Chain A
Amino acid sequence: SAVISQKPSRDICQRGTSLTIQCQVDSQVTMMFWYRQQPGQSLTLIATANQGSEATYESGFVIDKFPISRPNLTFSTLTVSNMSPEDSSIYLCSVYTPSEGNEQFFGPGTRLTVL
């Protein structure tokens, strides 16, 4: 199974600033995703991180607010831009590869608090 690490594990940020979250996988994976889990809520898919091309965003999420990079098959970043308190959430990356039986593996998450 894939082992996923995320940095930072948590952060407290000021309104109007930006934070970049890193997701590192210990093996090459086909697909990487970013999810948001707002306090007391379920997970919502933000976007699919595509290697070598622009990310594919879900309804309600835009590139200017959540720019994503995926320079190779083991690494991706999500930036939360111009943050407001409403962005306080846990951000999780997940990975999928067909050889792992259609299972998605999730990272431990980044807990973001915006003051």
Chain B
Amino acid sequence: AQSVTQPDIHITVSEGASLELRCNYSYGATPYLFWYVQSPGQGLQLLLKYFSGDTLVQGIKGFEAEFKRSQSSFNLRKPSVHWSDAAEYFCAVDSGAGSYQLTFGKGTKLSVIP
């Protein structure tokens, strides 16, 4: 079965600093990969997704992620963090076997200090 690891439970960055959130997955083939953001009291919003093709994908709100097959990673990045980016970020994998059932990582909580 697939699994997703987000090794950082909580990250604090200064506003304007760059950000990288780590995500590693375990799956035999190339999965569909997603990053979601959950703001306090809100549902999940999709930031970006990777299915195939270009390994660097662009998302909303200035986020990007890079798929690295050799490292089984799909890290999320943003060059300059805004205070409004403070939220919980979840990496998820879909086995792509037609089930469309997502397996989520435990999440990384991002705090932004002014």
B-side interface size class:
20 to 34
Closest residue of B by beta carbon distance from A9: B41
For B101, give its contact among A33, A101, A106 (CB under 8 Å): A33
Bits for A69-101, please: 1 = Cβ < 8 Å to B, else 0: 000000000000000000000001010100001
- Whether A106 contacts B32 in the complex (CB less than 8 A), given A42-B104, A45-B102, comes out as no
For B106, give its contact among A4, A42, A94, A96 (CB under 8 Å): A42
Evaluate contact between A42 and B100: CB separation under 8 angstroms.
no
For A108, give its contact among B43, B51, B102, B105 (CB under 8 Å): B43
| Measured CA separation A48–B45 after assembly (Å) | 20
Is A53 in the interface zone, CB < 8 Å from B? Answer: no
A-side interface size class:
20 to 34
Evaluate contact between B32 and A43: CB separation under 8 angstroms.
no
Evaluate contact between A43 and B51: CB separation under 8 angstroms.
no
Evaluate contact between B42 and A108: CB separation under 8 angstroms.
yes
- 8 additional A-B residue pairs with CB within 8 Å, beyond A33-B101, A104-B100: A31-B100, A41-B106, A58-B101, A92-B44, A102-B100, A107-B43, A108-B42, A108-B43
Using CB atoms and an 8 Å cutoff, list the residues of chain A in contact with chain B: 4, 31, 33, 41-45, 48, 58, 92, 94, 96, 101-109
27 contacts between A and B (CB under 8 A): A4-B43, A33-B100, A33-B101, A42-B90, A42-B105, A42-B106, A42-B107, A43-B44, A43-B102, A44-B104, A45-B102, A45-B103, A48-B99, A48-B101, A58-B101, A92-B44, A94-B102, A96-B100, A101-B49, A102-B51, A104-B100, A104-B102, A105-B46, A106-B36, A107-B43, A108-B42, A109-B43
| Measured CA separation A109–B90 after assembly (Å) | 16
Task: Report B21-47 residues with CB < 8 Å from chain A CB.
Answer: 32, 34, 36, 42-46
Residue among A48, A92, A102 facing the most chain B CB atoms (10 A cut-off): A102
| Measured CA separation A33–B103 after assembly (Å) | 12
| Measured CA separation A104–B32 after assembly (Å) | 12
